[in-house]
Amino acid sequence: MSRAVVTGGCGFVGSHLVERLVARGDEVTVFDGLAPAHPVEGVRYVTGDIRNLPDLAGALGTGTEVVYHLAAVVGVDKYLSSPLDVVDVNFLGTRNVLELAHRAGARVVLSSTSEVFGKNPAVPWREDSDRVLGATSAARWSYSTSKALAEHLTFAFAAHHGLDARIIRYFNVFGPRQRPAYIVSRSVHRALNRQPMVVYDRGVQTRCFTYIDDAIDGTILAATHPAAAGESFNIGSMTETTVGEVVRLIAELTGAPEPRTEVDTAVRVGPAYEDLSRRVPDATKAREVLGWTCETTLRDGLIKTIEWARASQWWLDLPDSGVA
């Protein structure tokens, strides 16, 4: 058993992580800006602003052994509507987490993102692949930049303060409880609500979809494996699938009609957003160092997600928060 703090523990990935940590016997404190919609028995919940050091200190103090730092402002809708919040929370929040973890002598697992690689065309991306970004005037890149800065802070604390820190980069994680703002969650949400699914830019862009259970496996392995200290890991499926194929598969599995809404992001959203043609990880390092592989196929993960969604009216009643 370990004493763990999970920032952002009320969110999609965070809530799944909390459940797994409790199941394995950890003593868990959650720090989040929102109160839990579905609290887990035995978990201590602290509500506050991660940008406020005293707020966070109420959750992360002496006795903390490991911090899973998942708190972030994420989602294309957020990048476009609240880019300042994206930068402040992802950068200042991470600085506060690292400072308090250093004081407590706790190790840190920073959740980062495939977005840090930007639009580098040389896929698959290794952990040390170059970052290729668009103009700073495009709000789209605020998330990528803020997460990269969070990684720089984490590596700096490790190098200069001896902090035991590990970084994981998630690639298109999906599954139960994800808000309907992403490719899979929004398509399932619309299909089950009998609304046309939305396909951006003809659906020819590719992604590698990672089921939530596999992402949590990788997260805990990164936190507990001694060889992970000071390292970063791509946590993602290496199976490349077009967005159009995903939408068609969701239609098949839900029995939804094929008609869909086509959106040209260049026309509908403008220069603030730039879609990526391919996003593919090289997860070899995670396999060789952590012993982690993505076990769940896209189809099996979708079946589990759809089964859960059908039984979760509260989720089906959520507003569609996707872009355009």
Q: Which of 45, 68, 79, 143 is catalytic?
A: 143
C-alpha separations of 248 from 217, 243, 270, 320 in Å: 28, 9, 26, 19
Q: In this structure, how many other beta carbons lie within 10 angstroms of the beta carbon of residue 252?
A: 12
Determine the residue type at 232.
S
Q: Token digits for 172?
A: 């298109």
143 is catalytic: yes
Angle in degrees, CA 118, 124, 130, rounded to 5: 45
Is the distance from CB of 222 to CB of 234 less than 8 angstroms? no
C-alpha separations of 151 from 90, 130, 159, 190, 314 in Å: 10, 14, 12, 35, 35
Sheet of 27-32, strands arranged across: 44-47, 27-32, 3-7, 66-69, 107-113, 165-170, 232-235
d(CA 131, CA 303): 34
Q: In this structure, how many other beta carbons lie within 10 angstroms of the beta carbon of residue 285?
A: 17
Q: Which conformational region is residue 159 in: left (phi greater than 0), alpha (psi within -120 to 50 degrees), or beta?
A: alpha
Q: Annotated active-site positions, please?
A: 143
